[in-house]
Amino acid sequence: MKVLNLYAGIGGNRKLWPAECEVTAVELDPEIAAIYQKNFPQDTVIVGDANAYILAHLKEFDFIWTSPPCQTHSDIRRMR
């Protein structure tokens, strides 16, 4: 099964998925993406915008997991 993991972070949810899954992870922050890649070297990690990636690649995956940042961790909470 081809899985797209958007807003992947360091891969907290990934550890629950079967190793047989072919996972592409998208993470905006390069440092966080590097941690994900270290934790899951078999996965493909894309450093980039999750929204742009899904628009370009939606039909390539069997399952899409999306876990955007929580409001308490997002910069949007400081905007008025």
- The tens digit of pLDDT for each residue in 21-60 reads 999 999 999 999 999 999 999 999 999 999 999 999 999 9
Q: Coil, helix or strand for 48? A: coil
**Model-level pTM?**
0.84
Phi, psi of 71 (to 5 degrees): -60, -35
Mean pLDDT score across all residues of the chain: 90
Distance CA 7, CA 24 (A): 11
